[in-house]
Structure 1
Amino acid sequence: MSAIAWTAALSLAAWLWLLLGQGLFWRTDMRLPPRRDPDEWPSVCVVVPARDEAAVLPASLPSLLAQDYPGRAEIFLVDDGSSDGTGELARELARRHGGLPLTVATPGEPAPGWTGKLWAVRHGIGLARARDPEYLLLTDADIAHAPDSLRELVAAAGTGGFDVVSQMARLRVESRWERLVVPAFVYFFAQLYPFRRIALKGARTAAAAGGCVLLRTETAERARIPDAIRHAVIDDVALARAVKQSGGHIWLGLAERVDSVRPCPRLHDLWRMVSRSAYAQLRHNPLVLAGTVAGLTLVYMVPPLAVVAGPVGGNVAAAVAGGLAWLVMTGTYVPMLRYYRQPLWLAPLLPFTAFLYLLMTVDSAVQHCRGRGAAWKGRTYARPDAVPDEG
């Protein structure tokens, strides 16, 4: 066998392992687990960090204000130094729509070693603790919730004995680029953090989706959330790891009626969303970056290349192995496209989308080397080992 045939065979072997040995990551049936209403509904405080979110707040905040929750609940929106009137708009929306009580607060500029979002979350949790809630719902300013979202999250946490119940909000898929890139983003996330493994007690795999995280207050205190993760750029995964390290039990799945209302219609918008944190995901390690590029190339690029190059060079084995690998890849992507209600002809294009993600990841490393890594809304964050330790 030629080198290209062996490489295609290796890619096929990788896909067979991913299909059967990576926690069935490709299945999209991980929805809220079975739940029953408690005899007495616990109190909940909702913490919403917001920085320059006036454009999306009218589509998201009213859904929180309108939560049909039988217990005591209130909202703390923390305006993280916005320049677009986010805080005043939030107050106006509360006056207009009514519903759950809303407090709008401003924490000031982040202390050294803190990301802006986690500094805002810290301030919001501090305000919430004065109400002594049993649960905290951490949700982003661009997330819209169905009226029974809080009720369902709390019931699921109580029934399953979970310390964290997190739902990955359904992201917007309206533009051409969103259709191409967004379902793949969730697919890759599930491949890296298989949801079924996260839910297993004792399993090391830990992740959450930052747009919707219901967290027991006592668990937050035990895991020192958010102080223990104050410098994390990928804060949701860091939160989940801290909770698991403290002995907590986590559930993560796909949402049915929790949606992101943030538009990312252009490739530039999606590129920035991914590249700002991709290198942080690789722990700012050049060797891990090289391994990631090699892995993406082997798993996603080699199959279509072998299908094309095999017949040209008269290499039937390469074409067959590459074709089978591409077929498995395509089949595992179909459930995610169905979840996002997208046409299935997008499935064979996954190698192209993976190539875009490869370029975004490399660009993330380049921007980091230029001192512009992890930049978001006017702030640039250093790698964790470069920030001061508060002891």
Structure 2
Amino acid sequence: MGHTARVSAVSWIAAVSLAAWLWLLLCQGFFWRTDIRLPPREEPAVWPSVCVVVPARDEADVLPASLPSLLAQEYPGRAEIFLVDDGSSDGTGRLARELAAAHGGLPLTVGSPGEPPAGWTGKLWAVRHGIALARAREPEHLLLTDADIAHAPDSLRELVAAAHGGGYDVVSQMARLRVASLWERLVVPAFVYFFAQLYPFRRIGGKGRTAAAAGGCVLLRAETAERARIPDAIRHAVIDDVALARAVKSGGGRVWLGLAERVDSVRPYPRLHDLWRMVSRSAYAQLRHNPLVLLGTVIGLALVYLVPPAALAAGLASGDAAAWVLGGLAWLVMTGTYFPMLRYYRQPPWLAPLLPFTAFLYLLMTVDSAVQHYRGRGAAWKGRTYARPDAVTDEHPL
């Protein structure tokens, strides 16, 4: 009797997992589709001026592969670049000047803001300094892009045309991350897949509350930035791209986010340790540093991603047909929704059934993020650690 009850419980849990996957498949903004690319472009009669702001801290390793792509932008209007050296110890600023001298192209200004004051993250303090330098040129648009992002020669032109054609205040592209090592193949496509599941791209462009951006490539109207008090209003946000989009959208602005075709991250994450740090540094901030939200997230990840293969295995071992059928179906739906993202990253389809394993890694990374936070080492990046911003009252919740 006890054995039958245990099997029945497994079947019920597998049924709940399958129901969750059917809901995600049909009701979560078709998050699994990867056809959200730049919206229809319309070239303006007069191309607006653009200032590109690049916050950079210890980026000498990646600048030779990224900065020349910005210098070489083929933009019909006036454009220039402001690279903000955020206290680098590896000669980032000097290297940027050398690359500009060697490659020519768009004008480059290198600035340094000094150490961020209390209540500011280093990146947003650097962005603030870059925007302040750019404001003297009175640009109509700002392109906020990271130092590890390489742009195709027409990237800026396409972004501005998309913003003009759709009347968007923010046009953001999620750069295609590097996928070369085994761990990058396992973890990176899932990173974007999970992000799209949380923030379905189709809903971001609509009138609803869903808002997000990808910090590596954000074209922002300068007037909108001033009206939304960016970056001051989000100065301590660790997940600054989502906070920026929410600040714009809550003020009535229009936001678009999609996958990039020719905007690529050149930063390598060859080891699991590198990827672990990338995720764990901000995972608990995404959960608003709330232990109850953490608990719910762990339970949700286990129910949605770990239960299907576990129910399949338990059902086959015990002869419980309902458990293995329901678990197998849930795993099948999960695998099917992951195929498009793997295809976008040009990865083999056999990686799709391994998504539960990758989800388990993300579960551990999330728990580790919380542990590091309570040890006083949370949200650490490039020598800086950001505490929970309890004392600040004007942040848009992440």
- Shorter-chain TM-score range: over 0.9
Cα deviation, residue 36, structure 1: 1.9
> What do the CA deviations read for 1:250-287 (whole angstroms, capped 9, x no partner)?
00000000000000000000000000000000000000
Where 2:230 maps in the other structure, the secondary structure is: coil
Give the structure 1 partner of residue 164 of structure 2: 158
Matched residue type, 1:146 = A
> What do the CA deviations read for 1:274-328 (whole angstroms, capped 9, x no partner)?
0000000000000000000000000000000001000211210010000000000
Matched residue type, 2:248 = V
Give the structure 2 partner of residue 27 of structure 1: 33
Matched residue type, 2:338 = Y
| Pair 1:229-2:227 in alignment | no
Where 1:347 maps in the other structure, the secondary structure is: helix
Matched residue type, 1:261 = V
> What do the CA deviations read for 1:38-72 (whole angstroms, capped 9, x no partner)?
11100000000000000000000000000000000
Whole-angstrom CA distance in 2 between matches of 1:25 and 1:172: 21
| Pair 1:304-2:304 in alignment | no
Give the structure 1 partner of residue 352 of structure 2: 347
- Contact 2:49–2:141 (CA<8 Å) still a contact in 1? yes
- Contact 2:301–2:363 (CA<8 Å) still a contact in 1? yes
TM-score of the pair, normalised by structure 2: 0.97
Cα deviation, residue 389, structure 1: 7.9
* Worse-matched range after superposition: 380-389 or 262-271: 380-389
Matched residue type, 1:385 = D
Give the structure 2 partner of residue 2 of structure 1: 8
- Contact 2:212–2:243 (CA<8 Å) still a contact in 1? yes
Whole-angstrom CA distance in 1 between matches of 2:392 and 2:372: 18
Whole-angstrom CA distance in 1 between matches of 2:394 and 2:9: 50
- Residues 213 and 282 (structure 1), Cα distance of their counterparts in 2 relative to 1, 3 Å cut: same
Matched residue type, 2:39 = P
Whole-angstrom CA distance in 2 between matches of 1:380 and 1:388: 20
Whole-angstrom CA distance in 1 between matches of 2:77 and 2:175: 24
Gaps of 5+ in 1: none
- Contact 2:234–2:394 (CA<8 Å) still a contact in 1? no
Give the alignment partner of residue 275 of structure 2, picking from 270, 276, 299.
270
Whole-angstrom CA distance in 1 between matches of 2:203 and 2:250: 15
Whole-angstrom CA distance in 2 between matches of 1:159 and 1:179: 35
Whole-angstrom CA distance in 1 between matches of 2:241 and 2:109: 24
Give the structure 2 partner of residue 188 of structure 1: 194
Give the structure 2 partner of residue 65 of structure 1: 71
Where 2:219 maps in the other structure, the secondary structure is: strand
* Worse-matched range after superposition: 181-190 or 34-43: 34-43
Whole-angstrom CA distance in 2 between matches of 1:224 and 1:248: 13
Give the structure 1 partner of residue 52 of structure 2: 46
Give the structure 1 partner of residue 255 of structure 2: 250
Of all paired residues, the percent bearing the same amino acid is: 86
Give the alignment partner of residue 130 of structure 2, picking from 124, 137, 144.
124
Where 2:390 maps in the other structure, the secondary structure is: helix
Where 1:295 maps in the other structure, the secondary structure is: helix
Matched residue type, 2:42 = R
Whole-angstrom CA distance in 1 between matches of 2:167 and 2:53: 22
Matched residue type, 2:238 = V
| Pair 1:333-2:330 in alignment | no
Whole-angstrom CA distance in 1 between matches of 2:314 and 2:326: 12
Matched residue type, 1:194 = P
Give the structure 1 partner of residue 3 of structure 2: none
Give the alignment partner of residue 327 of structure 2, picking from 308, 322, 336.
322
Whole-angstrom CA distance in 2 between matches of 1:280 and 1:229: 13
Gaps of 5+ in 2: 1-6
Give the alignment partner of residue 107 of structure 2, picking from 85, 101, 105.
101
Whole-angstrom CA distance in 2 between matches of 1:384 and 1:187: 28
- Contact 1:162–1:248 (CA<8 Å) still a contact in 2? yes
Matched residue type, 1:254 = L
> What do the CA deviations read for 1:140-162 (whole angstroms, capped 9, x no partner)?
00000000000000000000000
Where 1:29 maps in the other structure, the secondary structure is: coil
Cα deviation, residue 386, structure 1: 4.1
Give the alignment partner of residue 279 of structure 1, picking from 280, 284, 291.
284
- Contact 1:113–1:388 (CA<8 Å) still a contact in 2? no
Give the alignment partner of residue 220 of structure 1, picking from 210, 222, 225.
225
Whole-angstrom CA distance in 2 between matches of 1:195 and 1:99: 34
Whole-angstrom CA distance in 2 between matches of 1:307 and 1:318: 6
TM-score of the pair, normalised by structure 1: 0.98
Where 1:2 maps in the other structure, the secondary structure is: helix
| Pair 1:148-2:154 in alignment | yes
| Pair 1:92-2:109 in alignment | no
Give the structure 1 partner of residue 4 of structure 2: none
- Contact 1:112–1:388 (CA<8 Å) still a contact in 2? no
Where 2:347 maps in the other structure, the secondary structure is: coil
Cα deviation, residue 217, structure 1: 0.4
> What do the CA deviations read for 1:167-205 (whole angstroms, capped 9, x no partner)?
00000000000000000000000000000000002x100
Whole-angstrom CA distance in 1 between matches of 2:182 and 2:215: 25
